Amino acid sequence: MDTEEFRRRGREMVDYVADYLESIEKRPVFPDVEPGYLHSLIPTEAPVDPETYEDIIKDVERVIMPGVTHWQSPYFFAYFPASSSLPSILADMLCGALGCIGFSWAASPACTELETVMLDWLGKMLQLPECFLAGTHGHGGGVIQGTASEATLMSLLAARCKTIRSVQASNPQLPEGEIFSKLVAYTSEQAHSSVERAALIGGVMIRKVPTDDTYAVRKDILKKMMEEDKAAGLIPFYFCATLGTTPSCAFDHITELGPICNEENIWMHVDAAYAGSAFICPEFRHLLNGIEFANSFDFNPHKWLLVNFDCSTMWVKDRADLIGAFKVDPLYLKHENQESGLVTDYRHWQIPLGRRFRSLKMWFVFRLYGVKGLQSHIRNHVALAKEFESLVRADKRFEVCAEVIMGLVCFRLKGPNELSENLLKKINQSREIHLVPCQLSGRSPVIDRQTDRQAHRRQSLSHPKVYYS
């Protein structure tokens, strides 16, 4: 394919994308295929000789589309929203063309610097405390991770390293292995599974903290667990708070949890993967109060802020904590400006070495929507959730299982679990809308995200979904 053909095929692809998003409502949201469906549709080996572009593009409808779960469909309410947008798709095209791998400042200065500034822009939108911003002289700063899971892992690893060093400093005779085996992390029993997984990867114990009747972690219980562990000779070192839990969008009380962590020298990471986007609205910002006590904070603009996956934004108060934990600096990655203190080498901030120019997506989206446009996107979704909540509450057969604060509505049929389980099964088998279940306190409510088809039509956006599991 030469660039002339690319111009033609590119235009066709743009139209295909536009057609797909315009008519996505006509496709069944959840595919009607059995495991292994694709094997019989394509050859078992790559072709020896080139095929034509027509062959391939025909196969997109024949092979791919029948097996796609349409996350951008207005009938998709499962898992969490993955709110892509048209400007974001354009920015990603540019990213693909540049094809630069920005692991260090020198590897592509624009890639690094735009990211730093975009994280500052977004941090300001959230009214993050100054100490989390990079500015031009700050000790903090932000980075784009691929997913919130990676942000959690990075923070846990940084905390692990910091704690081991500090314990060793006061007990130089203690072997590292022994300290390691005493480390304990904490998170809500309602926290996302990736926190447990981060502890598994990091090789440390993790305790799940019971929650109150709003599914939130409170001060006393965390304090008690930590005291007990310390009395048993263990070393509490990390607490992952959640703002907007996966099952019910509950908010841990970080204003009271933060001070405890600070007193005890425990790293507090705040995971607001879904809810974080809403903090750009003044009326939701109070839910982020207490962030000043955190060491690190992360949320996913790719969930609810119109930036295509993958874009998980993470801030740290002290970048040295993150960098110090991972710095391995071979000669072939060194560059002249490295030691000037002025540059950021993002490879030290993340698990992978390579990285794409993802801040372009943020730049396009923030500028084309403006802060106001993004705020009204959030507000629209929350209003739809409230509307759906009132419909559920008006129907005596149903109950709402958790406070509706943002875009998530947890509801169930009154009575035994089987009723809700059967309802969910029927709904998903109909393939008209798609939902996933969730468990709260042993009950199994259906989690819904409101049918916002009208919003879709009004906005002509490709991602009008609101809610997450």
Assess 113 for contact with its own copies (CB under 8 A): yes
Q: Which stretch binds its own copies (CB under 8 A): 33-41, 222-230, 233-241, 407-415?
A: 33-41
Assess 47 for contact with its own copies (CB under 8 A): yes
Assess 106 for contact with its own copies (CB under 8 A): yes
Assess 279 for contact with its own copies (CB under 8 A): no
Assess 236 for contact with its own copies (CB under 8 A): no
Which are the contacts of 104, defined by CB distance < 8 A and separation ≥ 6?
A: 112, 333, 335, 338, 343, 345, 346, 347
Pick between residue 64 and residue 224 the one whose CB is nearest to its own copies.
Answer: 64
Which residues in the 280-309 window bind its own copies by CB under 8 A?
A: 302, 308-309
Q: Which stretch binds its own copies (CB under 8 A): 122-130, 219-227, 313-321, 398-406?
A: 122-130
Tokens representing 92?
A: 């990603």
> Cα 458 from chain centroid?
26
User: Which listed residue (172, 233, 330, 442) binds its own copies by CB under 8 A?
Assistant: 330
**Distance separating alpha carbons of residues 34 and 232, to the nearest angstrom:** 51
User: Which listed residue (58, 69, 212, 228) binds its own copies by CB under 8 A?
Assistant: 69
Q: Which stretch binds its own copies (CB under 8 A): 231-239, 250-258, 414-422, 439-447?
A: 439-447
Which residues in the 353-372 window bind its own copies by CB under 8 A?
A: 353-354, 356, 360, 363-364, 366-372
Assess 44 for contact with its own copies (CB under 8 A): yes
Assess 233 for contact with its own copies (CB under 8 A): no
User: Which listed residue (351, 391, 400, 423) binds its own copies by CB under 8 A?
Assistant: 351
Assess 174 for contact with its own copies (CB under 8 A): no
- In the chain, the largest separation of any two C-alpha atoms, in whole Å, equals 71
User: Which listed residue (74, 77, 82, 296) binds its own copies by CB under 8 A?
Assistant: 82
Which residues in the 369-428 window bind its own copies by CB under 8 A?
A: 369-373
Q: Please name the amino acid found at residue 159.
A: A
CB 314 within 8 A of CB 298: yes
CB 216 within 8 A of CB 405: no
CB of 258 to its own copies, least distance (A): 26
Strand partners, 297: 270, 315
Which residues in the 131-170 window bind its own copies by CB under 8 A?
A: 136, 146-150, 153, 157, 160
CB of 276 to its own copies, least distance (A): 15
Assess 245 for contact with its own copies (CB under 8 A): no
User: Which listed residue (25, 27, 28, 66) binds its own copies by CB under 8 A?
Assistant: 66
CB 182 within 8 A of CB 233: yes
Q: How many residues bind its own copies (CB under 8 A)?
A: 153
User: Which listed residue (105, 279, 299, 398) binds its own copies by CB under 8 A?
Assistant: 105
Q: How many residues does the chain have?
A: 469
Pick between residue 318 and residue 345 the one whose CB is nearest to its own copies.
Answer: 345
User: Which listed residue (29, 72, 305, 452) binds its own copies by CB under 8 A?
Assistant: 72
Q: Which stretch binds its own copies (CB under 8 A): 18-26, 227-235, 291-299, 411-419?
A: 18-26
Which residues in the 206-225 window bind its own copies by CB under 8 A?
A: none
User: Which listed residue (49, 172, 173, 396) binds its own copies by CB under 8 A?
Assistant: 49
Q: Which stretch binds its own copies (CB under 8 A): 284-292, 347-355, 385-393, 398-406?
A: 347-355
Pick between residue 293 and residue 363 the one whose CB is nearest to its own copies.
Answer: 363
Assess 3 for contact with its own copies (CB under 8 A): yes
Assess 54 for contact with its own copies (CB under 8 A): no
Q: Which stretch binds its own copies (CB under 8 A): 101-109, 208-216, 290-298, 405-413?
A: 101-109
Assess 37 for contact with its own copies (CB under 8 A): yes
CB of 394 to its own copies, least distance (A): 27
User: Which listed residue (244, 437, 450, 456) binds its own copies by CB under 8 A?
Assistant: 437
Tokens representing 100?
A: 């630069």
Assess 202 for contact with its own copies (CB under 8 A): yes
Closest alpha carbon to 434 in 146, 14, 79: 79
